[in-house]
Chains A and B, each alone.
Chain A
Amino acid sequence: MHFHGEGPVARAVDGIDFQIHRRQTVCIVGESGCGKTVTALAVMGLLPMPPARIAGGRILFDGRSLLDLPADQWRTLRGRRIAMVFQEPMTSLNPVFTIGDQIRETILAHEALKEAQARLRTISLLNDVGIEDPERRASDYPHQLSGGQRQRAMIAMALACGPDLIIADEPTTALDVTVQAQILHLLQRLQADKQMAIQYITHDLSVVSAIADRIYVMYAGVMVEQGNPGQIFQQARHPYTRALLDALPTKEKRGQRLATIPGTVPHPAYKPSGCPFHPRCGFREPACERDFPQMCDYGDGHGARCPVIQRMGGFP
């Protein structure tokens, strides 16, 4: 995904490859600005074009190439088979319509139902996501709900047509920690009930460990490591993944100063040559500044884009 504006082309996401299977939860992890949301929006077909342009690659959904679909057919997939939950429930719900209206509208956009049937479905959806007194709540406006309830309403909206895939873009970031846990449980319960796949986007590794079946670590628009939670948390093979793990507060690190990663994610228009992470990497070698690293295979679906660590046979 490239962004063409004034100045150099911003190559926001470049070289990612991931799969999501039914009933799986796949987590995309990375710092802010590394292309997670852009990836999600590309799958939804929601990138503003221009300035965005998909320069190459494929998005396959259920065997169909989304990028080759006419806009109208892609639209009918959106909301019906692929749904998205956004980060900020306050700004993502339309302030001038009731949440019941907004959910019902999704149902009516995709299914030939009577108004009354859609109303019933709306109430049962609100009930599913754990909103109490759903008949009355359906006629509330977003500003009358708490943050957690708003996110529940967003999830109800995403579930409206029984999607096969839900893309959740940091759905808990804007919420309190206790509400965060509730929303995570809700997503897990709904996934089990409705046999959905979830693509969960987050920068919070502690959330990832709780829900992921498979993890992809992104940095500066590139997948740098992939694997299941055991592989990522126990045997990370990329310095960036390792640095993220080191920055995580744990019981053992109580009382110590938390590690941080020096520097920031490069702007997509000004990415360093070679390995994008090399300016911030403690294991840097001269070759890192020159050669773009290939994915090193560790078997069993575990891979990392760092030949240095592979040669060293793991972190010292």
Chain B
Amino acid sequence: MTAFLGRSLIQKTITLFLVSVVSFLIIHLAPGEPSQIDPLNPKFSPEMVERMRQEFHLDKPLHIQYLLFYRDLFSGRIVSWRDNLPVLNKIGERFLNSLPLFIVGTLLTWTFSFPVGIRSAIRRDGPFDKTTTFLAYVLISIPGFFFAYILIILVVTQLHVPVIGMYSFGIDTASPMVRFMDRVWHLVLPSVLGATGGIAVLSRYVRSQMLEIIGQDYVRTARAKGLPDDAVYYRHALRNALLPFVTMFGLILPGLIGGSVIIESIFSWPGMGRMAYEAILARDYPVILTLNFITAVLVLVGTLISDLLYMVVDPRIRL
């Protein structure tokens, strides 16, 4: 156990280092520099560009740039090239904005996918299974932005609630209850939208996993023992069917920082996804690379959590 933790810590540190090198190289290999974003702008005289390059250390060799960047990152001094604000503060602010979307969306996805998938598997080919299969494929096939606009039109024209942004403009003066409901309404649509696709996909996984387990010999043994159906399905089958999802549970962690570009853009939600997208357009290397680095850390931590959870739920696995 301790040996496993030590080993995986070393492995993950090496992986993280490689990720930092590769992502740094990829960003710098991509054509275009921050100094060349707007070459037609008359303000960008050659001297100006040269000054920018010096200021951002873009004139130095790559390995020096690499060291400078990660020195700034670890000392927390790193600033955005775009507005000179500290990157970590920017990310922290946007992270808090994305967090409610992420939490509500994930909760909806995981609470709905399992009952739906399990029930379709148990009543395979029944009306419930056929209906959910159809709906799942509809929701998987429909483009997110299209579905979003349909929902927005429905909610705005039928329920007359504003849904764009994180809250309505000028709501600060209203009573706390009104403000609260306003926040809830603004949260509902983007999180439901994020969850529908997730539910459609995850419930299919749950269904096929459950079907596979129901066909196993030990489920037949459980029936042969004369156990009631509920015990057969929910104790013997479900416990085994859940094992692969434990891995997925660790891997939703990176979603914390990812956000959703499409949903956040449609709803003008000032979240992580949009910040990353805008940083890429502006070639704001510090922001892009910091996000990248945090994501890599979260992925590695997520896999570690998955491994540990696996050990807890599957007696066959000893680390």
A interface, CB within 8 angstroms of B: 44, 46, 75-80, 83-84, 86, 88, 91-98, 105-106, 109-110, 141, 143, 154, 157, 160
User: With A86-B220, A91-B216, A109-B231 in contact, do A79 and B225 touch (Cβ < 8 Å)?
Assistant: yes
- Interface of chain B, helix or strand or loop or mixed? helix
A96 lies within 8 A of B226 (CB): no
B236 lies within 8 A of A94 (CB): yes
Q: Select from chain A the residue with minimum beta-carbon distance to B314.
A: A96
B226 lies within 8 A of A141 (CB): no
CB contacts (< 8 Å) of B181 on chain A: these are none
B315 lies within 8 A of A79 (CB): no
Instruction: Determine whether B49 belongs to the interface, using a CB cutoff of 8 Å to chain A.
Output: no
A92 lies within 8 A of B228 (CB): no
Contact with A along B213-249 (1 / 0, CB 8 A): 0001110111111111001000010011001000000
Instruction: Determine whether B316 belongs to the interface, using a CB cutoff of 8 Å to chain A.
Output: yes
CB contacts (< 8 Å) of B224 on chain A: these are 44, 46, 78-79, 83-84, 86
A-B contact pairs, 19 of them (CB 8 A): A44-B224, A46-B223, A78-B224, A78-B225, A83-B225, A84-B221, A86-B217, A86-B221, A91-B216, A94-B239, A95-B218, A95-B315, A96-B243, A105-B227, A106-B225, A109-B225, A109-B226, A157-B225, A160-B225
User: With A141-B315, A143-B316 in contact, do A92 and B217 touch (Cβ < 8 Å)?
Assistant: yes
Instruction: Determine whether B313 belongs to the interface, using a CB cutoff of 8 Å to chain A.
Output: yes
Given A77, A96, A109, A160, which contacts B315 in the complex, CB threshold below 8 Å? A96
Q: Select from chain B the residue with minimum beta-carbon distance to A143.
A: B316
B218 lies within 8 A of A94 (CB): yes
A-B contact number at CB 8 A: 75
- Number of chain B residues close to chain A: CB under 8 A: 21
A95 to B218, CA, bound (A): 8
- Interface of chain A, helix or strand or loop or mixed? mixed
A106 to B225, CA, bound (A): 6
CB contacts (< 8 Å) of A91 on chain B: these are 216-218
Tell me, rounded to whole Å, the shortest Cβ–Cβ distance linking A142 to chain B: 9
A98 to B224, CA, bound (A): 18
Given B218, B223, B240, B316, which contacts A141 in the complex, CB threshold below 8 Å? B316
CB contacts (< 8 Å) of A98 on chain B: these are 315
User: With A105-B227, A109-B226 in contact, do A95 and B221 touch (Cβ < 8 Å)?
Assistant: no
Most buried by A among B231, B314, B315: B315
Q: Select from chain A the residue with minimum beta-carbon distance to B218.
A: A94
Q: Select from chain A the residue with minimum beta-carbon distance to B239.
A: A96
